[in-house]
Amino acid sequence: MERFTGSFTQQEPIPDEGIAAALEVMRHGRLHRYNTAAGEAGETALLEQEFAAFTGARFCLAVASGGYALGCALRACGLQGGEPVLTNAFTLAPVPGAIAAAGGQPVFVEITADLVLDFADLEAKARETGARLLLLSHMRGHVCDMEALMALCARLGLTVIEDCAHTMGAEWNGLPSGRHGAVACYSTQTYKHMNSGEGGLIVTDDDALAAKMVLLSGSYMLYGKHPAAPAPEVFVDLRLDTPNVSGRMDNLRAAVLRPQIPLLTDRRARWAALYQMMEAGLQGIPGLRLIPRPEGEAYMGSSFQFLLPDWEPARIVGFLSAAIARGVELKWFGAADPVAFTSRYPHWRYAGVQSCPETDRILAGLVDMRLPLTFTPDDAAQIARILREEALRAGQAEIAADAPALAPQVQ
């Protein structure tokens, strides 16, 4: 049997231009975003301008992490202690973590079998809780019907903060991901679409929200050094009432990121080639369901998901074990305990006991896999062949196990 030998955690190298810029920052030593020489904008300020232009946003703020970006946005939107914040039941730990750390109460909303927010449950829980904030997670790059969602949220009086950690560079009906809500938060953690190890970016068109987030991030009244922020007069009535919750990005990470912005469109095309190779290889396997991608979605296929909706846990564990024995690393969102980056809403006990039975049913059969750009389409085809063989073998084993019970009794 063939075995895959690639690494699911190996990223592409930083572009040479980014390495050169980072070395220059280290040589002059001005790593802090506000420590600039006369006439020097600084790498962080330039990154903010360039990412704002890429997304079409008026304002951009670079921060220490994607999780910090979420918390900063929540605080800027006026989150009060104990206030409910709606969010997807299928997301990763930093999302409810940001809500709880900012003093809010996560309220989990059901998802559909296409891994996006269930609008009926969103409306029911918005009315039940009186929530005014929705932290929308575009989990694993799956985007719901954004026009329909924004119309519903307008009717419900919900302010939308978009978690675009998995959709930087994606589009919905031609509009960059993150441009529907009041604020959008992106991650530049090493497994995301731009890599600085850790880091985050926030965009908005709202003057007051942008000013509050700059102040929250720790501006030390140096907001005039933010060319991608509102005019100084916007800060005057906010600067003494907004606490410093320091989370700035530094010039070193910004230098590494700036050359990656122009690469996002090409990266989207390369990820699509890997993703579509996986789809083709897994199509038509009995008991395995692929996730449909809407026509209006230009997605970033940096990970791949499929469902095993009718499989018993033991069968799924056997399939995962067989895959890893052949070099294919899969994550399962139905496991009883969290493993590495994989956890689900019942594991976050700080959020309190909540019930999302439809999400439970879906996650019980959800399998997830990274697709780093160090893979080639041939790699993706080989991975799909291995998974196809093991999925079919698992199905045959189940049939064989059931055969004695199904066979007619001989007298």
Residue 403, domain member (yes or no): no
* pLDDT above 50: residue 231: yes
User: How far apart, in whole angstroms, are the C-alpha atoms of residue 198 and residue 127?
Assistant: 37
Residue 4 lies in a domain: no
pLDDT tens digits, 284-330 = 999 999 999 999 999 999 999 999 999 999 999 999 999 999 999 99
Residue 356's nearest CA partner among 16, 110, 158 is: 110
Tell me what the mean pLDDT of segment 56-83 comes to: 98
**What token pair was written down for 92?**
């990763």
Whether the per-residue pLDDT at 406 is higher than 50: the answer is no
CATH number of the domain encompassing residue 292: 3.90.1150.10
Same domain as 235, residue 277: no
My answer on whether 217 and 274 are in the same domain is no
DSSP state of 349: G
Whole-prediction pTM: 0.95
Give the tens place of pLDDT for each residue, 239-253.
Answer: 999 999 999 999 999
For residue 408, what pLDDT is reported?
46
- Do 88 and 99 meet the contact criterion of CB atoms below 8 Å apart? no
pLDDT(179) > 90: yes
- Do 110 and 91 touch, CB atoms closer than 8 A? no
DSSP string, 195-237: -SSS-EEEEES-HHHHHHHHHHTT-TT-GGG-TTS--HHHHTT
**Which structural domain range is residue 96 located in?**
16-263
Confidence of residue 404 (pLDDT cuts 50, 70, 90): low
For the chain, how far is it from start to end, CA to CA, in angstroms?
42
Kindly tell me if the per-residue pLDDT of 228 is higher than 90: yes
Q: What is the pLDDT of residue 339?
A: 86
One domain for residues 103 and 241: yes
| Amino acid code (one letter) for 235 | F
Judged against a pLDDT cut of 70, whether residue 398 lies above it is answered with no
What pLDDT does residue 25 have?
Answer: 98
Instruction: Report the C-alpha gap between 42 and 39 in whole angstroms.
Output: 9
Residues 252 and 168 in one domain: yes
DSSP per-residue letters across 42-81: -HHHHHHHHHHHHHT-SEEEEES-HHHHHHHHHHHTTPPT
Task: Please indicate, yes or no, whether residues 278 and 349 belong to a single structural domain of this protein.
Answer: yes
* Amino acid 410: pLDDT: 38
Domain stops at, among 235, 263, 291: 263
Are 272 and 255 members of one domain? no
| Whether residues 118 and 169 fall in one domain | yes
Mapped onto helix, strand or coil, the DSSP state of residue 148 is helix
Burial letters for 378-405: b for 16+ Cβ neighbours within 10 Å, e otherwise?
A: ebbebbbbbbbebbeebbeebeeeeeee
Q: Give the confidence band of 396 by pLDDT, cuts at 50, 70, 90.
A: confident
Give residue 341's pLDDT: 83
Confidence of residue 129 (pLDDT cuts 50, 70, 90): very high
Does the pLDDT value for residue 141 go beyond 50? yes
Q: What is the DSSP letter of 145?
A: -
